[in-house]
Chain A
Amino acid sequence: MAGESAHAIDLTGVMVEASLQPADYLIVAPVVIPILFGALHLMLRNRSVNHGAMAIIGMGLLVLATFGLLQRVMDTGPVTMTMGRWLPPFGISFSVDTAGALLAFTSAVIALGGAVYATATATALEARYGFFPFFMLMMAGVSGAFLTGDIFNLYVWFEVLLISSFGMIVLGSDQRQLDGTMKYAFLNLVATTMFLVATGLLYGMLGTLNMADIWQKLNGAEEVRGPVMTIATLYFLAFAMKAAAFPLNFWLPASYHTPKYLVSALFAGLLTKVGVYALLRVSLMLFADQREMLALFIAWVAALTMLIGVLGALAQREVRRVLGYLVISGIGTMLAGLAIGTQTAIAGVLVYAVHSMIVMAALYLAAGIMARLSGTADMAGSGGLYAASPMLAGAFLILAFSVSGLPPTSGFWGKFVLVKSALEVGAWWLAFVILLSGLLTTVAIFRVWIFAFWRGGPEGTPDGAEAWTINPLGEKFRLHASLTLGVLTLMTLGLGLAPETLLSAAADGARGLLYPLSYIGSAFGGVGQ
């Protein structure tokens, strides 16, 4: 029992002594807020309270917290909080640099949009079966993965977001969904297991899990004896599988078209990018030398992922399947940046990741609205949607420009920076593949636009005739959906027209990933190392 002696233990030298400002709580707030709201949603699951409004408040707070954190990190450099005050590497640290904060902020914005959209679409039954708790806890996992500074903790956040995503993807449980869920769950669990195996090996080799500490040990004066290359490759394999890179991409098109449209949008916007972020953090920051050795291999994987993605998109008829393949193609584009590995290239990856989060989420939401209007998910079966909603047609057109990487949208800048950096290092063939996949993406996405919006009616309608059936949208759905889609579309347009802030933040993030000394410093700050 806690007796008299319990509070007489000498704890000097094992705890963080640095003083803490209340603003430092921003580091952990993006995880605590969704967990608290998730728990509240869970408790009030069966009550007829306004779950959607609660979710909007929660995600609104998350946006504010991540925005504050991003501001702080941009001002002062990386910040660290070590839970429970135990000194790293024993205490679990959250170390946030610009790259992590930027992606956390973007994902929070998309989650807020998702919450607004969900308010209009989530049924009472879905609320009862836990849609909102899953949503909130998934966001806790996503934020945690972007912010943590401990590799095992990263694994834990991956598990949190994965388990919540299992719940979200199976909600509704029709046959197609169960089929998609099985593939999604099984293959993601395989990837997670590989992640765990790699982490176990790494811990066995270095005796530490704190990323700053790992970096120090790997780059220290003492030579590391052990299978570093194997571990780096295992990590690459695990995260590439989670990000859906070729040839481990097949789970994504098999599952992303099955759940609710909103769930697809959140998954496409957030989850694969967590994989990309983890790749950047681990391959680039921790295993920089090994990445260099793997660079050519990564470049091949990237090129094949881009091409398989667009070719798959060209072959599909269902809108969401097309989008699923475009997600994969986007992952390939980001991997190309990782393969090049220069500071410009990594900045390009970050710009492209932010862009891809916004655009893919928006496109899936647009697909949801299209399916409601036309009553079918098949693009050839819908048609004449331009007449039904010119605004939707316009928004989709902008998003189509953006996903293809055409100006004046955010997609242009990501690809521009990546192509430029590829040419700088002489990887002209990679630049060519990026441009080629951009061209093919244009064909694939405009195929959707022409089929669904431009034609007079569904397949079989004679030329010049107009024969469409349009289902009216509910008033509430129309409002919430157009608000969400409108804001996301304006964001991609705004980032395309005024990219300076994003570009400088991404450059800062790339510098932090490639030269993590200030990250290391913040992790061990206040201990005089």
Chain B
Amino acid sequence: MNTVIFRTAAPYLTALMVVFSIFILLRGHNDPGGGFIGGLIAASAFAIYGIANGVAPVRRALYFHPITLAGFGLFLAALAGIPSLFAGVPFLTGLWTFPRVFGVELALSTPMVFDIGVYFVVVGAITAIALTLEERHES
């Protein structure tokens, strides 16, 4: 796996995949996609970077420990149910708002926050597993 071609291409590939994973995450509510599949794509991006350049650079680039990201995701997902309290509807009821930003209508909602939470849980958990396995492989 240590070819020059792979090591040169890996950073671009990783960046591209992370961007694509965010695209997949955001289109998820009404189209195929969403937090889970987006998270898997992002996790495989980090795994590819780890295979090409070693695990230490990935950990440095991520800054946070993957499990911390997963915890953040869980926190966000649980928090996404709370705004319903203030709207007087049951827990986890989808609340939507459609603000216009620069003439474009944005669909912001609590399901989206929940989905972003799922995204982080999947990224964190799968990356943690993948990096640990790669580390073992390296040593």
Contacts and interface: CB of A to CB of B under 8 A. Distances in A.
Interface of A: 1-2, 4, 6-7, 16, 19-20, 22, 24-25, 28, 32, 35-36, 38-43, 45-46, 81-85, 91, 133
Contact of B78 (A24, A32, A46): A32
Contacts of B70: 42
A2 B29 contact: yes
Nearest to B124: A42
A1 B74 contact: no
B91 interface: yes
16 contacts: A2-B29, A7-B98, A16-B90, A28-B81, A35-B74, A35-B78, A36-B79, A39-B73, A41-B71, A42-B70, A43-B75, A45-B68, A81-B91, A83-B91, A84-B94, A85-B93
A39 B125 CA distance: 13
Contact of B71 (A32, A45, A84): A45
B31 A1 contact: yes
B67 A42 contact: yes
Interface in B53-96: 65, 67-68, 70-75, 78-79, 81-82, 85, 88-94, 96
Contacts of A24: 90
A83 B92 contact: yes
Contact of A20 (B30, B89, B92, B94): B89
B72 A84 contact: no
A84 B74 contact: no
Q: How large is the interface on B (under 10, 10 to 19, 20 to 34, 35 or more residues)?
A: 20 to 34
Given A16-B90, A25-B91, A85-B93, A2 B72 contact: no
Contacts of A38: 74
Given A6-B107, A32-B78, A83-B92, A42 B68 contact: yes
B88 A19 contact: yes
Contacts of A22: 85, 88
B93 A43 contact: no
B116 to A, nearest CB: 14
Interface in B77-123: 78-79, 81-82, 85, 88-94, 96, 98, 105, 107
Given A40-B71, A83-B91, 10 more contacts: A4-B105, A6-B30, A7-B98, A25-B85, A32-B91, A39-B73, A39-B75, A81-B90, A85-B89, A85-B93
Interface centre among B31, B89, B92, B96, by most chain A C-beta atoms within 10 angstroms, is B92
Contacts of A16: 90
Nearest to B89: A85
Nearest to B82: A32
A16 B73 CA distance: 29
